[in-house]
DNA sequence: ATCGGCACGC
DNA sequence: GACGTACGTGCCGATC
């Protein structure tokens, strides 16, 4: 059997991992992010490649033989951060635990060790794969040697073979050295020929094949400047060539046999993982499969009493309560059991027993009996399904955890407890399994697990509340998110009425038009294919029809709408495809997708608002997402005709904030010009155009206003100059200028942007009006991209987050106002800056003034808030 | 099952 | 100079 050798560039991968992952500490305060990243990469390779031989090469010391040729080799490099240096010994330990050999050689770099072994393996006719982040290694590619370069992150790689290289870079492996010699490499301080970049170098090599070829035929090189540069820098080019050439004949003292890999010992690796706190990786290594029972056995003892018949003595004044469902969709999920923990005991009750019990209902509905829960909204909805109106939900661990740090991805009880260094609860996945294998375990196991979660909830409450108070987020939690959670629960439970027949009719019409379009596209293409597959569409457009290639994706040609639009006048097929895409989206996502989630007996849709997800404080909506129902194009907007009031004689009423983010910006930044624009009630985009282009109101063209609008959009969403250039279809430099001119026009905004970035650097986080936080660890990153992103986030989050705070508060105020006024009107949906209600026709007039007033007055800013309202028989008509 | 490409909203 | 560029959800095809 053929042998497979994996050669890993240890330094390169460690660097990659270090910069790709946030600087994590384990519980002992040791930085482990590079080790962690390295480990995930290693596990993935071992699993996917099943190699017979593995070796990790490291760079030895400070100087190498290359420094003799060129003293400045790798000069100007930032020195390795100490947070990373300290992790190299751990990486070696990791490799030892895996029984994987590693090697370094004085005066030589990891590249040379890898090159030498790769050639040896090749000679033996082995399959060799090199893993690195360093493109220099591409020179090793051959029929037997492939090179996998890390892309985004660490485990995401791109494997280079000779043919892939030719396609992607338009050069052969043998030309890589000459390519580098010409273009140089700033990160290694290799000069190359100044002024020659990748594009020129590839062009030269295509014409003359090699560096020698270029110099032999210098007179044929086009361009006087280029010829001059090449002549002047001939020495540099050849020296660069020497420097980048990997020594494939290094005096290494290890042979291929040393790299033999025979698998790792579970014990050693798992204890290494435990030492470093890599608990999430434990499940990925092949040890004995952790059975549910075993999981629980390894945890500390806990006594949970399973009771069938619930009595008052099992309940208390203050109780942690968990309603356990295995499925996320709590509108329909079965309730498997109920966990109850208080000072007097720990109980588990099978779901049906609890929810059908009169004793339980009475206790649940008693507002004086305090319930501590994880996800109050879910608890409320689930219980409402059993006609229980739960009251007294006084603590919500989910919301609290989210408020404390929204950037945590896992806010479930086991994850939270683990972060607090308590390891008494198994993860749901370990107990229930996942995907198709998910199942309800035996009652004993279920009771234990639910009991543990409930117990942990009971224990964590105090600490978490202290943390909220310490962060000055108590009000945000207690006065905003907690009350909102109840309101959202009621909204979700209420649901939105859907005109199913209407949806179905639209589906029929779409089906016909799609079939027609499909036929037309096939005719124009001259063949049939799957029109929904970009992978199949690409070759048709760009090979068969020979349309110009504007952009490629990593898997082929890009066929996205903005690319197709640029091709529109080139071929009649393009327009058909665009329309097909548009209608296809409506059909699959909005017609079929919505029909799938309509409740059969009521014809209502019940979304779920995720209140603990976004980094900015906005809500999100799932199953279905009712926050992205089409509106921009008329065709799609018609979907909204299917959203109707749930009662006869009722109407849909919608109210939205006008320019809330820009108003918030004016307020936070205290920018006089922006403030006065809003106070005057000016059209803000026109005003921006006047300020940015220095023209009077009547001189503002549509084009100028459109551009100003895009800039405002960019400011609100924190997009980059690149993002703005994309949305306007202009060069990045111009986009950058627009942003600069905007900031010159609004000095208050400029000052705010600078301040908020400083604040983020100082505190490590930014805050909103109501003290919502977003941590930005990348604000001090040495990586430009990460840092820039963090800076834009610092500027944008207080704006978007404050707007989110405001509408959330408005919802609470409105809920109480409706109650206070004795109106029947109900809130149904929130779409970031608008609220959708249904109401009896007779209430509309009152509603109009009430809703507007409540929303506009919910906070008092330097600028007025403005609310527009609409009404109609369907959501579509409320426009 | 999971990923990539694409498209919808704010 | 740049290895990626507002936030979400969900569909499809392709892949293993």
Q: What is the pLDDT of residues A163-180, one digit of tens each?
A: 888 877 788 888 888 888
**Rounded Cα gap, residues A8 and A57, in angstroms:** 6
- DSSP code per residue over A715-753: HHHT--HHHHHHHHTS-HHHHHHHHHHHHHH-HHHHHHH
Q: Which range has the top average pLDDT, A104-118, A393-407, A534-548? A: A393-407
- Where does residue A76 fall: left (phi above 0), alpha (psi -120 to 50 degrees), or beta otherwise? left
Q: Is the pLDDT of residue A718 over 50?
A: yes
pLDDT at position A297? 53
- CA A172 → C1' B3, Å? 29
Tokens linked to A588: 């699959």
Confidence of residue A291 (pLDDT cuts 50, 70, 90): very low
**Rounded Cα gap, residues A548 and A557, in angstroms:** 11
What is the pTM assigned to this prediction? Answer: 0.72
Tokens linked to A613: 């997800």
Tokens linked to A809: 């508060």
Tokens linked to A496: 């939105």
Confidence of residue A151 (pLDDT cuts 50, 70, 90): confident
CATH annotation of A305-464: 3.30.420.10
Average pLDDT, integer, range A276-282: 73
Confidence of residue A77 (pLDDT cuts 50, 70, 90): low
- CA A777 → C1' C9, Å? 27
Contacts of A92 (CB under 8 A, 6+ apart): A102
Closest CA to A575 of A588, A562, A560, A564: A564
**Rounded Cα gap, residues A151 and A172, in angstroms:** 21
The answer to whether A48 CB is within 7 Å of strand B is no
Q: Is A708 helix (H, G, I), strand (E, B) or coil?
A: helix
Tokens linked to A52: 């017979």
Distance between start and end Cα atoms, chain A = 70
**Rounded Cα gap, residues A689 and A695, in angstroms:** 8
Tell me, rounded to whole angstroms, the distance of Cα A729 from its chain centroid: 25
State the span(s) of chain A assigned CATH 3.40.50.1010.
Answer: 4-166+246-259
Report the mean per-residue pLDDT for chain A: 89
Which residue's C-alpha is at the least distance from the C1' of B5? A534
Which residue's C-alpha is at the least distance from the C1' of B9? A628
Q: Is the pLDDT of residue A152 over 80?
A: no
Q: Is the model more confident about A435 or about A803?
A: A803
Confidence of residue A600 (pLDDT cuts 50, 70, 90): very high
Q: How far is CA A220 from CA A215, A217, A236, A504, in A?
A: 10, 6, 21, 68
- CA A557 → C1' B6, Å? 13
The answer to whether A550 CB is within 7 Å of strand B is no
Contact present, A652 and A877 (Cβ < 8 Å): yes
Burial group, residue A634, by CB count within 10 angstroms (0-12, 13-18, 19+): exposed
Q: Is the pLDDT of residue A101 over 80?
A: yes
Contact present, A428 and A637 (Cβ < 8 Å): no
Q: Is the pLDDT of residue A25 over 70?
A: no
- CA A657 → C1' B10, Å? 12
Contact present, A397 and A464 (Cβ < 8 Å): yes
Q: Is the pLDDT of residue A73 over 70?
A: yes
The answer to whether A353 CB is within 7 Å of strand B is no
The answer to whether A530 CB is within 7 Å of strand B is no
pLDDT at position A820? 98
Q: Is the model more confident about A32 or about A348?
A: A348
Contacts of A694 (CB under 8 A, 6+ apart): none
CA–C1' nearest nucleotide, residue A720: C5
pLDDT at position A181? 82
Which residue's C-alpha is at the least distance from the C1' of C1? A186
Q: Which of A295-299, A302-306, A589-593, A681-685 has the lowest mean pLDDT?
A: A295-299
**Rounded Cα gap, residues A672 and A862, in angstroms:** 10
Q: Is the pLDDT of residue A726 over 80?
A: yes
Strand B nucleotides below 7 A of a protein CB? Answer: 1-2, 4-10
pLDDT at position A271? 72
Q: Is the pLDDT of residue A498 over 60?
A: yes
- CA A706 → C1' B6, Å? 25
Q: Is the pLDDT of residue A298 over 80?
A: no
pLDDT at position A293? 39
pLDDT at position A288? 43
Q: Which residues touch strand C (CB under 7 A)?
A: A 133, 151-152, 186-187, 530, 532-533, 535-536, 588-589, 592-593, 596, 610, 613-616, 620-625, 627-628, 717-720, 722-723, 783-785, 788-789, 792-793, 796
Average pLDDT, integer, range A424-432: 92
Phi, psi angles (nearest 5°) of residue A182: -80, -45
Overall residue count recorded for chain A in this entry: 879
pLDDT at position A812? 97
Which residue's C-alpha is at the least distance from the C1' of B8? A628
pLDDT at position A274? 72
Q: Which of A62-71, A100-109, A209-218, A251-260 has the lowest mean pLDDT?
A: A62-71
State the span(s) of chain A assigned CATH 3.30.420.10.
Answer: 305-464
Phi, psi angles (nearest 5°) of residue A526: 80, 10
Strand C nucleotides below 7 A of a protein CB? Answer: 1-15
Between residue 573 and residue 592 of chain A, the positions with Cβ below 7 Å from nucleic chain B are: 578, 581-582, 585, 589
Confidence of residue A26 (pLDDT cuts 50, 70, 90): low
Percent of chain A with pLDDT over 70: 95
The answer to whether A636 CB is within 7 Å of strand B is yes
Q: Is the pLDDT of residue A270 over 80?
A: no
- Over residues A8-24, the pLDDT tens digits come to 998 888 888 887 776 66
Q: Which range has the top average pLDDT, A39-43, A262-266, A418-422, A787-791? A: A787-791
The answer to whether A553 CB is within 7 Å of strand B is yes
The answer to whether A81 CB is within 7 Å of strand B is no
Closest CA to A321 of A305, A341, A344, A304: A341
pLDDT at position A440? 94
pLDDT at position A616? 93
Q: Is the model more confident about A726 or about A399?
A: A399
DSSP label of A587: I
The answer to whether A153 CB is within 7 Å of strand B is no
The answer to whether A213 CB is within 7 Å of strand B is no
Confidence of residue A383 (pLDDT cuts 50, 70, 90): very high
- Over residues A844-879, the pLDDT tens digits come to 999 999 999 999 999 999 999 999 999 999 999 998
Percent of chain A with pLDDT over 90: 60
CA–C1' nearest nucleotide, residue A618: C7
Phi, psi angles (nearest 5°) of residue A167: -70, -45
Average pLDDT, integer, range A105-115: 89
Confidence of residue A767 (pLDDT cuts 50, 70, 90): very high
Closest CA to A331 of A486, A446, A495: A495
Q: Is the pLDDT of residue A508 over 60?
A: yes
Average pLDDT, integer, range A572-580: 92
Q: Is the model more confident about A151 or about A749?
A: A749
Contact present, A836 and A828 (Cβ < 8 Å): yes
Tokens linked to A512: 């016909």
Q: Is the pLDDT of residue A553 over 50?
A: yes
pLDDT at position A362? 98
How many CA atoms lie less than 13 Å away from A119 in the CB half-sphere?
14
Average pLDDT, integer, range A403-427: 91
Q: Is the pLDDT of residue A292 over 60?
A: no
- CA A628 → C1' C11, Å? 13
- CA A14 → C1' B9, Å? 40
- Over residues A311-328, the pLDDT tens digits come to 999 999 999 999 999 999
Confidence of residue A289 (pLDDT cuts 50, 70, 90): very low
- CA A156 → C1' B3, Å? 11
pLDDT at position A500? 96
Phi, psi angles (nearest 5°) of residue A839: -155, 155
Which residue's C-alpha is at the least distance from the C1' of C4? A785
The answer to whether A438 CB is within 7 Å of strand B is no
Average pLDDT, integer, range A478-497: 97
Tokens linked to A301: 């003892």
CATH annotation of A4-166+246-259: 3.40.50.1010
Which residue's C-alpha is at the least distance from the C1' of C9? A625
State the span(s) of chain A assigned CATH 1.10.150.20.
Answer: 662-800
- CA A534 → C1' B4, Å? 10
CATH architecture of A662-800: Orthogonal Bundle (1.10)
Place of tokens 């992150």: A153
Q: Is the model more confident about A394 or about A212?
A: A394
**Rounded Cα gap, residues A96 and A42, in angstroms:** 13
CA–C1' nearest nucleotide, residue A156: B3
- CA A169 → C1' C11, Å? 33
CA–C1' nearest nucleotide, residue A722: C5
């Amino acid at each position: 059997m053929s042998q497979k050798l994996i050669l890993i560039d240890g330094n390169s991968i460690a660097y990659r991992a270090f910069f790709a992952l946030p600087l994590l500490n384990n519980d002992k305060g040791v930085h482990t992010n590079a080790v962690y990243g390295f480990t995930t990469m290693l596990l993935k390779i071992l699993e996917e490649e099943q190699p017979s031989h593995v070796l990790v090469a490291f760079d030895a010391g400070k100087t190498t033989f290359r420094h003799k040729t060129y003293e400045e080799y790798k000069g100007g490099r930032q020195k390795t951060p100490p947070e990373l240096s300290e992790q190299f010994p751990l990486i070696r330990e990791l490799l030892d635990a895996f029984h994987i050999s590693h090697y370094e050689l004085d005066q030589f770099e990891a590249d040379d060790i890898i090159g030498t072994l790769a050639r040896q393996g090749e000679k033996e006719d082995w399959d060799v794969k090199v893993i690195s982040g360093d493109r220099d290694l591409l020179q090793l590619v051959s029929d037997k040697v492939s090179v996998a370069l890390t892309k985004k992150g660490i485990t995401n790689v791109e494997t280079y073979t000779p043919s892939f290289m030719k396609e992607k870079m338009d050069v052969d492996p043998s030309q890589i050295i000459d390519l580098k010699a010409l273009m140089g490499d700033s990160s290694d301080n290799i000069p190359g020929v100044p002024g020659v970049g990748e594009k020129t170098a590839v062009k030269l090599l295509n014409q003359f094949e090699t560096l020698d070829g270029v110099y032999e035929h210098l007179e044929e090189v086009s361009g006087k400047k280029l010829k001059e540069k090449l002549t002047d820098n001939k020495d540099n080019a050849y020296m660069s060539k020497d420097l980048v050439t990997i020594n494939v004949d290094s005096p290494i003292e290890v042979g291929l046999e040393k790299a033999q890999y025979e698998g790792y010992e579970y014990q050693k690796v798992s204890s290494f993982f435990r030492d470093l706190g890599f608990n999430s990786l434990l499940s990925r290594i092949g040890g004995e499969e952790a059975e549910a029972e075993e999981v629980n056995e390894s945890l500390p003892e806990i006594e949970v009493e399973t009771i069938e018949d619930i009595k008052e003595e099992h309940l208390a004044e203050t109780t942690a309560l968990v309603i356990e469902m295995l499925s996320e969709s709590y509108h329909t999920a079965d309730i498997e059991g109920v966990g109850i923990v208080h000072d007097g005991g720990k109980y588990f009750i099978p779901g049906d027993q609890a929810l059908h019990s009169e004793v339980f209902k009475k206790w649940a509905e008693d507002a004086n009996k305090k319930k501590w829960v994880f996800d109050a909204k879910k608890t409320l909805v689930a219980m409402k399904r059993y006609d229980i109106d739960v009251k007294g939900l006084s603590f919500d661990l989910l919301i609290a955890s989210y408020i404390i740090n929204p950037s945590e991805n896992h806010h479930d009880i086991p994850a939270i407890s683990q972060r607090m260094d308590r390891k008494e609860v198994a993860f749901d996945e370990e107990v229930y399994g996942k995907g198709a294998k998910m199942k309800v375990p035996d009652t004993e196991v279920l009771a234990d697990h639910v009991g543990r979660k409930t117990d942990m909830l009971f224990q964590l409450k105090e600490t978490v509340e202290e943390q909220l108070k310490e962060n000055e987020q108590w009000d945000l939690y207690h006065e905003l998110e907690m009350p909102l959670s109840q309101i959202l629960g009621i909204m979700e439970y209420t649901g939105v009425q859907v005109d199913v027949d209407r949806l179905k009719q639209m589906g029929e019409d779409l089906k016909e038009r799609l079939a027609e379009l499909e036929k037309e596209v096939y005719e124009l293409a001259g063949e049939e294919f799957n029109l929904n597959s970009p992978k199949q569409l690409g070759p048709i457009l760009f090979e068969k029809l020979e349309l110009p290639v504007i952009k490629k994706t990593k898997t082929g040609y890009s066929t996205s709408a903005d690319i197709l639009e640029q091709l529109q006048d080139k071929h009649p097929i393009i327009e058909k495809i665009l329309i097909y895409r548009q209608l296809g989206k409506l059909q699959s996502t909005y017609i079929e997708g919505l029909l799938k989630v309509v409740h059969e007996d009521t014809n209502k849709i019940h979304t779920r608002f995720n209140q603990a997800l976004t980094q900015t404080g906005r809500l999100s909506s799932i199953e279905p997402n009712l926050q992205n129902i089409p509106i921009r194009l008329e065709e799609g907007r018609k979907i909204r005709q299917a959203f109707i009031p749930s009662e006869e004689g009722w109407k849909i009423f919608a109210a939205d904030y006008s320019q809330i983010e820009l108003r918030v910006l004016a307020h936070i930044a205290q920018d006089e010009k922006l403030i006065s624009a809003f106070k005057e009630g000016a059209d803000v985009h026109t005003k921006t155009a006047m300020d940015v282009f220095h023209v009077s109101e009547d001189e503002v063209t549509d084009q100028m206003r459109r551009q100003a609008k895009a800039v405002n959009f960019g400011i609100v969403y924190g997009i980059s100059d690149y993002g703005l250039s994309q949305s306007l279809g202009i060069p990045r430099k111009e986009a950058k200028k627009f942003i600069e001119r905007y900031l010159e026009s609004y000095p208050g905004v400029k000052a705010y942007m600078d301040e908020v970035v400083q604040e983020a650097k100082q505190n490590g986080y930014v805050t909103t009006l109501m003290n919502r936080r977003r941590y930005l660890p990348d604000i001090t990153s040495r990586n430009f991209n990460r840092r820039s992103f963090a800076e834009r986030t610092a500027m944008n989050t207080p704006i978007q987050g404050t707007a989110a705070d405001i509408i959330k508060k408005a919802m609470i105020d409105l809920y109480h106002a409706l109650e206070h006024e004795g109106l029947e009107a109900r809130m149904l949906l929130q779409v970031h800056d608008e609220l959708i209600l249904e109401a009896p026709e007779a209430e509309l007039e009152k509603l109009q003034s009430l809703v507007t007033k409540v929303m506009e007055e919910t906070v008092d800013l330097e600028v007025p808030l403005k609310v527009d309202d609409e009404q109609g028989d369907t959501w579509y008509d409320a426009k």
